[in-house]
Structure 1
Amino acid sequence: MKDTLWKENHFQDNIPDADSIQVDDIQTRAEKLRQQANAAVGAKKYAQACELYTQAIELSPCAILYANRALARTKMEEYGYAYMDACKSIELDCHYPKGYYRRAVANFALGKYKAALEDFKKECERRIREQAFAKAIDSDAVKPVSLFETIDYESIIVEDSYQGPTWEQEDISESFCYELIEYLRNQGKLHKKYLIKLLVYAKRYLDQLDNIVSYQVKESGITVCGDTHGQYYDLLNIFQLNGYPSRDNPYLFNGDFVDRGSFSVEVIITLLTFVCYDPLCMLLNRGNHESKNMNKIYGFEGEVKTKYNETIYSLFAELFESLPLGHLLIGNEKGNRKQVLVIHGGLFSRDGVLLEDLQHLDRHREPDQGLMAELLWSDPQKEMGWGVSKRGIGVSFGPDVTCRFLDANQIALLVRSHEMKEQGYEVEADNRLITVFSAPNYCDQMGNLGAYIRFSSTLEPQFYTFAQVPHPNVPPMAYASNGLGSMGLV
């Protein structure tokens, strides 16, 4: 009798009530959303995955969902948001290892190696043991003597087997430029003697420039291009569509020449060759990827070391610090001094910044803090005011911030790059801000168009778009670090 009563009571205690059924239903829906989101990540539909993870989190927040959304945001390069998701994952479950891993990956992608080390010790310690990497993260390290002061390219012997273009005179000839383009197009490799000479000549010129270079636009106008990211054959397509660089057909390339695409060496060599041939036909701005931290992760360092050697990479890294931070285009219209500012990333976390302030920055360093970091890393947002950067560096700035900065500096228009756009460009902030991106089908997978802007002498913009062209069978990121490899989804 006693046993029967216990069984009846036990059975009654375990009858699910309405509330528990509802909880089970919520968890079931959240689990289905998680599985759908995981599938979206597998299909590289990262924005869709983020939306699905968000819906699941709203139903049933847990460490796994936040960690998985952090992964999707990492794939979208929204490292600031990924970091916050990883922190929330750890807050919900301090024993969940992937929360720490995701946070480490976000910090690692941002070049915050010491912070990443706490969560990602094994991977970071391996990198810290590499001498170059240790120097890159040690902000207190003494700056070494410039390689440009000791390098002797004249003593380098050019082997008889070398079939590429030669540069024996003082100046680069026009024929050398075109011979080099065709040689690189056919996957030839410029001899290291001529490459080092090119870097020496380019740095000597770039070091003379201001942080923000004033450029009077001639009657023929100027073409402004955005990120090219090592997509050499698309760069050549721009020249095919718009004409090769010359004094009557000048170009301004707005940073991020390297990384991602696996022909970054060819891109930067071609651009620097035109700089040395005629500085008035090729203007260059620094991007956030012209830095040691980004090059180590996203491929340029590995590509240079594969195609050449560590010394030549060190020369590139030092040269990148000599690149100007922006160009101020000045229109050629009587009675109307119209100006357009071209910088890579965006604006600043406070009002009141003047061009004069930017001229006083020390640009010969890594862009990891202060106004220089914001200039190279920031992005516009639709909302007014300022917001948290999705990248974890710089700031998000609204159209009101844009207009106040431009008005304070008597500038009509801000042109920036730094973000992939489906049509290759986007106009916002009451037509006072343009984003231009010149790497079509970014990383061979995004399906976007590339674009460039033709500015007339009166600084009226015209937009031109183009699709990707074929390239040799070397995939993007072929030389990239494996430090951003991810643990599987849960």
Structure 2
Amino acid sequence: MATDTLKVEATALKDKGNKAFKEHDWPTAIDFYTKAIEKVGTDPAFYSNRAQANIKLEAYGYAIADATKALELDPANVKAYWRRAIANTAILNSKDAMRDFKIVVKKEPNNKDAKLKLAECEKLVKRIQFLKAIEVGDPPSAFEGLDIASIAVPEDYDGVRLGDKMTQEFIDDMITRFKDGKQLHKKYVYQIVKAVRDIVYDEPTMVEMEVAQKTKLTVCGDTHGQYFDLLEIFRLNGYPSEDHAYLFNGDFVDRGSWSTEIALLLYSYKWLRPNYFFLNRGNHETDDMNRVYGFEGECKAKYSERVFKIFSESFSALPLATLIGKKYLTLHGGLFSDDKTSLDDIRKLNRHQQRQPGQAGLMMEMLWTDPQQAPGRGPSKRGVGLQFGPDVTKRFCENNGLEAVIRSHEVRMEGYEVEHNGKCITVFSAPKYCDATENKGAYINIGPELKLEYHKFDAVPHPDIKPMAYAQNSLMQMM
């Protein structure tokens, strides 16, 4: 039984958490809510508030657990049902989300927003069922029947023309077009995506590269459709060249509302300099995430459904990891459920047989897992994949002769974080993520000596288009 003193102290901690939440400092808010729970573990509001902060950090598994605990303490807690529904929607557990939205509507029959979310959730469930019903084992290529050469570009097209090869002139013009809110002609989109699909398809599942003398490599994390922040990286750090290679470690698209612009710019650099520009697949370069988090909708709004389909095919061809100088394994998510997994297992993985990562297996773990402070392995805070501790990272690096693992996949308030005794490095390159988190962005420069140099940067202004503007329902737009 909590004493009155403990209750007062816990409430003060919750208030500090609420203040941090209002300032968009989600990790600090979670820390205060956790301390409040440690003093008084019977107040459902503490768990419900922490659930909302976990949603903001995309720790949806933790949010579901917190909302469930709040409901155990108070079965009538509407906020907890709502937050659990939102978290389940985020990890595509649409049926569970629908069940909770129904409860909210029943308890608050005049809640128009809840009715809207329930209707949208029901549509989402039906769409998922429909897509599964028409799914075929080996679908034809999205490029089948697409005669790109026969597509004419009008005489009045005001951009630089693209021939059979990518040029720096075309890229420079593209950068300006996108800044001005213009699009490429669809013929050029088809050309770019097909060229890069063909290039990356032939690359190994784990690309192995060295940093040559008098050159450097920059590793960037998630950019998530934040086009103007991507340009800020290039402004601060230099544009890609044969002396300055780049590696983008997944999650180029979704959430931000310039995902097609980022994908096309990165692809154009890959086409121009395939041996000096590298792309790893992220968990958002997948169909199920793109359908919910905005990229599919953006492709349809700016171009066509076919553009989404060809992007989807190209995403499934992307490598899953890059080994830098035999010292740094770079992959989007993290490490594995089995200590025996090795670099050779990654090399042998045939990513072309399994286009989408699914709910289990090596590809899913490479795209979805996260580090944890505690040793061993634990359930995923996201509700997908797992978490791995410093001992897991240490063994993996020792067994494979690595200095460290570089990964992305998670917001870091300073743009990057070095943990697991220096063996696990997270880099995240979308500052002020979704216009809602007061985080910096970061990138890592690596020279021939393979020393890591961390650089932080702030978000820059962008046109007044909100994140998730192309998400197909407001279930996602509110997250």
Bin of the TM-score, shorter chain as denominator length: 0.7 to 0.9
Within-5 A mapping of 1:185-204: 185-204=179-198
Q: Percent same amino acid at aligned positions?
A: 43
Find out whether 1:205 has 2:193 as its counterpart: no
Q: Which residue of 2 aligns with 1:341?
A: 329
Find out whether 1:126 has 2:123 as its counterpart: yes
1:250 aligned counterpart, secondary structure: strand
Deviations 1:83-125 (A, max 9, x none): 1122223434556555444333222211233443444463322
Distance 2:129 2:78 in 1: 26
- Whether contact under 8 Å (1:374, 1:393) holds in the other structure is no
Deviation at 1:31, TM superposition (A): 7.1
Distance 1:72 1:300 in 2: 25
2:418 aligned counterpart, secondary structure: strand
Q: Which residue of 2 aligns with 1:279?
A: 274
Q: Which residue of 1 aligns with 2:240?
A: 245
Seen in structure 2, the aligned counterparts of structure 1 residues 140 and 353 have a Cα distance that, compared at 3 Å, is farther
Deviations 1:320-350 (A, max 9, x none): 11111001122xxxxxxx4221111111123
- Whether contact under 8 Å (1:245, 1:282) holds in the other structure is yes
Q: Which residue of 1 aligns with 2:474?
A: 482
Q: Which amino acid aligns with 1:212?
A: M
Distance 2:291 2:43 in 1: 34
Find out whether 1:83 has 2:82 as its counterpart: no
2:164 aligned counterpart, secondary structure: coil
Distance 1:25 1:485 in 2: 41
Deviation at 1:241, TM superposition (A): 2.4
Deviation at 1:473, TM superposition (A): 2.4
Distance 1:207 1:260 in 2: 26
- Whether contact under 8 Å (1:164, 1:188) holds in the other structure is no
Deviation at 1:161, TM superposition (A): 3.4
Seen in structure 2, the aligned counterparts of structure 1 residues 370 and 98 have a Cα distance that, compared at 3 Å, is farther
Q: Which residue of 1 aligns with 2:462?
A: 471
Distance 1:206 1:40 in 2: 43
Q: Which of 356, 369, 380 is the equivalent residue of 2:344?
A: 356
- Whether contact under 8 Å (2:287, 2:356) holds in the other structure is no
Question: TM-score, structure 1 length as denominator?
Answer: 0.84
Deviation at 1:415, TM superposition (A): 1.0
Which protein has the larger Cα radius of gyration, Structure 1 or Structure 2? 1
Q: Which amino acid aligns with 2:53?
A: A
Q: Which residue of 1 aligns with 2:174?
A: 180
1:157 aligned counterpart, secondary structure: coil
Q: Which amino acid aligns with 1:413?
A: A
Q: Which residue of 1 aligns with 2:111?
A: none
Deviation at 1:485, TM superposition (A): 6.2
RMSD value, Cα: 2.9
Q: Which residue of 1 aligns with 2:110?
A: none
Find out whether 1:387 has 2:378 as its counterpart: yes
- Whether contact under 8 Å (1:406, 1:412) holds in the other structure is yes
Distance 2:41 2:339 in 1: 41
Deviation at 1:483, TM superposition (A): 1.2
Seen in structure 2, the aligned counterparts of structure 1 residues 63 and 467 have a Cα distance that, compared at 3 Å, is closer
Which range moves more in the overlay, 434-443 or 36-45?
A: 36-45
Q: Which of 223, 232, 241 is the equivalent residue of 2:227?
A: 232
Q: Which residue of 1 aligns with 2:106?
A: none
Within-5 A mapping of 1:310-325: 310-325=305-320
Q: Which residue of 1 aligns with 2:356?
A: 365
Deviations 1:427-483 (A, max 9, x none): 222322222122222223433332222211232222222222222222323223411
Q: Which of 394, 398, 405 is the equivalent residue of 1:414?
A: 405
Distance 1:432 1:25 in 2: 43
Seen in structure 2, the aligned counterparts of structure 1 residues 51 and 292 have a Cα distance that, compared at 3 Å, is same
Q: Which residue of 2 aligns with 1:397?
A: 388
Q: Which residue of 2 aligns with 1:450?
A: 441
- Whether contact under 8 Å (1:253, 1:284) holds in the other structure is yes
Distance 1:234 1:44 in 2: 19
2:70 aligned counterpart, secondary structure: helix
Deviations 1:228-279 (A, max 9, x none): 1112122122222222212221111111111222211111100000111120
Seen in structure 2, the aligned counterparts of structure 1 residues 437 and 65 have a Cα distance that, compared at 3 Å, is closer
Distance 1:43 1:454 in 2: 31
Deviation at 1:72, TM superposition (A): 2.6
- Whether contact under 8 Å (1:26, 1:60) holds in the other structure is no
- Whether contact under 8 Å (1:348, 1:394) holds in the other structure is no
Distance 1:252 1:29 in 2: 48
1:448 aligned counterpart, secondary structure: coil
Distance 1:388 1:422 in 2: 23
Find out whether 1:218 has 2:209 as its counterpart: no
Distance 1:449 1:27 in 2: 35
Which range moves more in the overlay, 356-365 or 71-80?
A: 356-365
Deviation at 1:205, TM superposition (A): 1.3
Deviations 1:345-396 (A, max 9, x none): 1111231111222232535214532222221122222222222322112222
Q: Which of 94, 104, 117 is the equivalent residue of 1:113?
A: 94
Q: Which amino acid aligns with 1:74?
A: I
Q: Which amino acid aligns with 1:203?
A: R
Deviation at 1:208, TM superposition (A): 1.0
Deviations 1:1-47 (A, max 9, x none): xxxxxxxxxxxxxxxxxx9xx98888788778767766665554544
Distance 1:145 1:424 in 2: 40
Deviation at 1:48, TM superposition (A): 4.8
Q: Which amino acid aligns with 1:206?
A: V
Q: Which residue of 2 aligns with 1:5?
A: none
Q: Which amino acid aligns with 1:127?
A: L
Which range moves more in the overlay, 365-374 or 226-235?
A: 365-374
